Amino acid sequence: MKQRDRKAPSVRERAPEQRPDVALRRYTLAGQSLQAPALAGGLYIVATPIGHLGDITQRALEVLAAADVIACEDTRVTRKLTDRYGITARLTAYHDHNAAVARPKLLARLAADEAIALVSDAGTPLISDPGYRLVRAAREAGHAVTTIPGPSAVLAALAVAGLPTDRFFFEGFLPPKQAARRTRIAELANIPATLVLFETGPRIGAALADLAAGLGGREAAVCRELTKLHEEVLRGDLNTLAGVYAGEAPRGEIVVVIAPPSAQQPETDELDSRLREALGRASVKDAVAEVAEILGLPRRDVYQRALALRDEHAADEP
């Protein structure tokens, strides 16, 4: 009796298996040369150090060593890591400027059952880089995608900032032009979460000034060169930090962490008390400007409360 053909398992159903046709490759750790087990074909998202090259997992080293190719933003940056650990896997560039051309080539490699490791210059891939398009295309083509977790500048900054971490919003880079930047900051103002931003040294002073103008005196931390020799974390309110970095262009990677609105807003009674006193002797516009400056709150929020108090007062009058 002829046996029926069984349906081939899907990528989701099939457990990764080591490929016998790929020889074991090696990496160096603590002066010892170690074998890296062969990898199943697929895309591996590998987190790499954000500064200190010692901040890498052994699993990440095994994957990088065993990969058929390592796709990276800048081959010169990644080569420093691979040279440090004696990894000889081939490097190929994959970044914003060549993604449209490089992506089909990487997908063809995946179709040939090769193992590709995707890394960014630092930290976890797909955070402010084009990697998500490759991941999406690989999944749509039915290829296995595996994450190798590790360092992240976002989480490292949250860990040392001393600000609420139960809920946070990652913005990435603010727009470089001031008008667009201020518009975006206004959109971020009412998000009920700690804000996490990336910024460059040349723009940090201007960005902090606009953040102070748009968000008021919220508590914040500027985290620079995390895990590196010259690591620096400055804490204070946005107005103070804007003054510190005015006219300066510090070197290195910068992450800004900003407290949520609720962490800095005073009790409603205090806001109402100050507004009532100011409204009794000044116009709404002047009262709002005065109270917003004293309490470090966005003028928009104070203005809305001032209008509400004015309407309540008018309703109470005979």
Domain ranges within the chain, ordered by starting residue: 25-151, 166-178+191-260, 268-316
Distances, alpha carbon 172 to alpha carbons 128, 196, 236, in Å: 6, 7, 21
What is the C-alpha separation between 157 and 106, in angstroms, rounded?
33
pLDDT value, residue 130: 73
Query: How is residue 42 written in tokens?
Result: 């697929």
| CATH number listed for the domain at residues 25-151 | 3.40.1010.10
Tell me the residue type at 218. Answer: R
pLDDT value, residue 7: 42
Give this prediction's pTM. 0.74
Give every residue of the chain whose pLDDT is below 50, as ranges. Answer: 1-22, 264-266
The burial of 233, by beta-carbon neighbours within 10 Å (0-12 exposed, 13-18 middle, 19 or more buried), is given as middle
pLDDT (tens digit per residue) in 19-47: 444 456 999 999 999 999 999 999 999 99
pLDDT value, residue 200: 96
pLDDT value, residue 15: 38
pLDDT value, residue 270: 75
**119 within 8 A of 85, measured Cβ to Cβ:** no
Protein fold of 166-178+191-260 = 3.30.950
- With CA atoms as reference, report the closest residue to 258 among 305, 176, 180, 199: 199
